[in-house]
Structure 1
Amino acid sequence: MAYVLSKTSSYQEEIKKSRFEVVAGPVNSPEEALAFFAAHAVPTATHNCWAYRIGQLYRFNDDGEPGGTAGRPILQAIEGQDCDSVAVLVVRWFGGIKLGPGGLIRAYGGTAAQCLRLAEKQIWVPRVSVRCYCGFSDMALVQSRLPAFQAEVASEQFDGQGVIWSLTLPEAQAQAFRLAFVDLTRGQGRFLDDAEVSGGLAD
């Protein structure tokens, strides 16, 4: 079972006079992860080391620490805490005492794991995106039923007859929503592919 963070979390610890500050937050893309690191990095610190995992995508950075002693242990902490769609930054201020490779691995991995352990989390639910077209006459009824399928409107655009919705919803609810959508629109609504959306709806 995988978990995602509900919000940004932080944790601090001093290890042999080096100060470690961890910031972890939910992200949905590599671009969001890199922006998260840029926003929380401390330029005056000795090292800003990080890792992220988003599904099968992952990346880590040692930022000057010996190879394999910072970024990878942070990634392993993410995996050890069964987290997904998360970015973790560990900032270190060197305190004058060298920790050695083993000490660095324990420090970076341990503080990252503790931050994730204490973070507010929720069970990760796989979500899918669907695009559908609904006439104005059925719009209010369909919209009122979206919460029942935990469907969220990512975007909407209108033409002269109705609305194109881009929705995200739990994968497990997708088939039930498709059936309900057909019933609610009495067969008049339809699901669209990318070509229909970009090319317009004119028949």
Structure 2
Amino acid sequence: MGYRTLARRALHEAVIKHSTFVAVAAPLAGGAGVESLLATRRAAMPSASHHVWALRRGDELRWSDDGEPAGSAGRPVLEVVLKRDLDRVAIVVSRVFGGTKLGVGGLARAYAGSAARALDAAGERVVEASERWLVRLPYASVDVVMRRAGDDPAVQRCEARYDATGALLTIELLQADAERWETVLADLTRGDAVVATRFEIDAP
């Protein structure tokens, strides 16, 4: 139910046959894509001839060779991410050409190796997937549900708002415990609780 991602943003620089390769790896939060990281790297390295990138977010796999020979850059970078089973990760590898051509195989090794070293520097962490629920329930059930939520380590947040028809609880909990909490709500409210909306959220 969780996923492995990067612990922090990290940079690795290497000179390979006179070309400078600078790789930056970063975890992705929310709906962020590679665009912000790519813009930052282009601004930081205007002399780079190529800004190769790769991204993985769940089933979304994207990459760009940015003018390098097809298959020599973006895909090898993505393969490094996939082999480590990392998710919600973006990598940009910028190259300042040093005058020596590396060939397709040499480019693939240089880009993949630079990406791998950036991932090493970034470290990894396991994120437990969480959900946010908006739950409609009667006034009479609020206290007992709030107490149960406060005693359960799987519940990360439980807040109540009130209106003329009852209460609306915002509950954030570990996705692994979602099915159990469906039963908890049904039992505590005698079936009167209604989960109006639920969606996955990013862990802090």
Residues 49 and 141 from structure 1, CA distance in 2 versus in 1: closer, same or farther, beyond 3 angstroms? same
Maintained 8 Å contact 2:157/2:170 = no
Q: Are 1:73 and 2:76 an aligned pair?
A: yes
Residue aligning to 1:98: 101
Maintained 8 Å contact 1:149/1:177 = no
> Which of 179, 183, 193 pairs up with 1:179?
183
Residues 25 and 159 from structure 1, CA distance in 2 versus in 1: closer, same or farther, beyond 3 angstroms? farther
Counterpart of 2:64, as a letter, is: N
Q: Are 1:37 and 2:37 an aligned pair?
A: yes
Q: Which has the higher strand share?
A: 2
User: Map of 1:1-203 to 2, 5 A cutoff?
Assistant: 3-28=4-29, 32-43=32-43, 44=46, 45-128=48-131, 130-134=133-137, 137-138=142-143, 140-141=146-147, 144-145=150-151, 148-149=153-154, 151=156, 159-160=163-164, 161-165=166-170, 167=172, 169-183=173-187, 187-193=191-197
Counterpart of 2:21, as a letter, is: F
* Structure 1 stretches lacking a partner, 5+ long: 195-203
Identity %: 32
Count of residue correspondences: 190
Maintained 8 Å contact 1:37/1:50 = no
Residues 4 and 78 from structure 1, CA distance in 2 versus in 1: closer, same or farther, beyond 3 angstroms? same
Residues 193 and 82 from structure 1, CA distance in 2 versus in 1: closer, same or farther, beyond 3 angstroms? closer
3-state secondary structure, aligned to 1:33: coil
More divergent stretch after superposition (71-80 vs 92-101): 92-101
* Structure 2 stretches lacking a partner, 5+ long: 199-204
3-state secondary structure, aligned to 2:71: coil
CA shift, 1:86, in A, is 0.8
In the superposition, the TM-score normalised over structure 2's length comes to 0.76
Maintained 8 Å contact 2:5/2:124 = yes
Residue aligning to 1:198: none
Residues 189 and 105 from structure 1, CA distance in 2 versus in 1: closer, same or farther, beyond 3 angstroms? same
3-state secondary structure, aligned to 1:98: coil
CA shift, 1:83, in A, is 0.8
Counterpart of 1:178, as a letter, is: E
In the superposition, the TM-score normalised over structure 1's length comes to 0.77
Tell me the C-alpha RMSD between the 2 structures.
Answer: 3.0
Structure having greater relative contact order (Cα 8 Å, sep ≥ 6): 2
CA shift, 1:180, in A, is 3.0
